[in-house]
Amino acid sequence: MSEFKFKQFSVKNESSAMKVNTDGVLLGAWMNIGREEKQLLDIGTGTGVIALMAAQRSAAMRISERSIYAIEIDSVSSQEAEFNFENSPWRDMLRIENVSIQDFSKECPIKFDLIFTNPPYFIDSLKAPQKRRNVARHTDLLSHQDIIKSVNSLISPNGRFALILPSGEAQQFITESGQFGFRLCRICKVKTTLDSDPKRYLMEFYIKKGCQECVDVADDIPYQELVIETEEYKSLTKDFYLNF
């Protein structure tokens, strides 16, 4: 069985359309989780790794009254995430549902205090032969506007929304979300090397009116996908990766 081991949990990483990757770990470690959020939602959970990281961080704060919901449109990925949740130390905190965010947002009565996602991001680009991987990586079935509209209907009045996107798609997402009243209030631009342009944007939004405009509260995090050398990256992910 293909398995990815973290310090406090392991992830079956065999059948999911989207495997454990650096983007997901970055988001799980970077997104702001406070004590006041009681209802959390992971859109397109894949293996469940970001939801599991949120559960670990919640347990570290000794927060018992918290529910972390995860939704996944791909049935095989959903089953793998369920296995990972059930075999984690936080099985009572985690819930998984095999459903699209579009359908979930129409039926779910809960308002979420923190919503997060590592979403599909390829737009009108060459597709891989594997259909399930295309769904996980391309925006055909989950466009930016679908995400924004669904989050808008599910988020609590003071809730926050965090995600990671490539730099080009991030700029487009910032513009589109602003049309629905979202304010970018936290951002981290991620580089692969110190001298390269940012490759990924970690972003956090508020829907609350009157929120301050975008504030750079985190420095760029230089990193490499396979050989991580910077102290900033190690500090951010040290509670999760085994080798840090």
What CATH number is attached to the domain comprising 104? 3.40.50.150
Residue 6 above 80 pLDDT? Answer: yes
Mean pLDDT of all residues belonging to the chain? 85
Q: Residue 134: how many CB atoms within 10 A of its CB?
A: 16
Q: Is the pLDDT confidence value at 222 over 80?
A: no
Read off the DSSP letter of residue 213. P
Q: Could you tell me the sign of the dihedral formed by the alpha carbons of 223, 228, 234, 240, in that order?
A: positive
* Number of compact structural domains in the chain: 1
CA 76 – CA 93 distance, rounded (Å): 22
Q: Is residue 66 part of a domain?
A: yes
| Residue range 63-80: mean pLDDT, rounded | 93
What pLDDT score does 154 carry?
A: 97
CB contact at 8 A, 75 and 115: no
Q: Around 48, how many Cα atoms within 13 Å sit in the side-chain half-sphere?
A: 36
Tokens (6 digits) for 188? 């981290």
Is residue 242 assigned to a domain?
A: no
The pLDDT value given to residue 130 = 54
Asked if the structure places residue 166 within a domain, the reply is yes
| pLDDT value, residue 224 | 42
Mean pLDDT of the 66-79 span:
96
pLDDT score for 208: 59
Q: What is the pLDDT of residue 219?
A: 52
Instruction: Count Cβ atoms below 10 Å from residue 9 Cβ, excluding itself.
Output: 20
Per-residue pLDDT band for 228 (boundaries 50, 70, 90) equals low
Residue 82 lies in a domain: yes
pLDDT at residue 220 in the model: 57
pLDDT, tens digit (0-9, with 9 covering 90-100), for 36-62 = 999 999 999 999 999 999 999 999 998
Higher-confidence residue of 168 and 208: namely 168
Q: What is the pLDDT of residue 136?
A: 43
Tell whether 44 is covered by a domain.
yes
243 belongs to a structural domain = no
Q: Is residue 214 part of a domain?
A: yes
pLDDT tens sequence across 158-200: 999 999 999 999 989 999 998 888 988 888 888 888 788 888 9
Residues 44-53 as b or e (16 or more Cβ within 10 Å = b): bbbbbbbbbb
- Whether the Cβ atoms of residue 53 and residue 240 lie closer than 8 Å to each other: yes
pLDDT of 32 > 70? The answer is: yes
Residue 145 clears pLDDT 80, i.e. is over it: yes
Q: For residues 29 and 54, is the Cβ–Cβ distance under 8 A?
A: no
Q: How far apart are CA 117 and CA 68, in angstroms?
A: 13
Is residue 127 over pLDDT 70?
A: no
Domain that holds residue 24: 3-237
pTM of the predicted protein model:
0.86
75-126 pLDDT, tens digit per residue, is: 999 999 999 999 999 999 999 999 999 999 999 999 999 999 999 864 444 4
**pLDDT at residue 227 is higher than 60:** no
pLDDT tier, 218 (very low <50, low <70, confident <90, very high otherwise)? very low
Domain membership flag for residue 93: yes
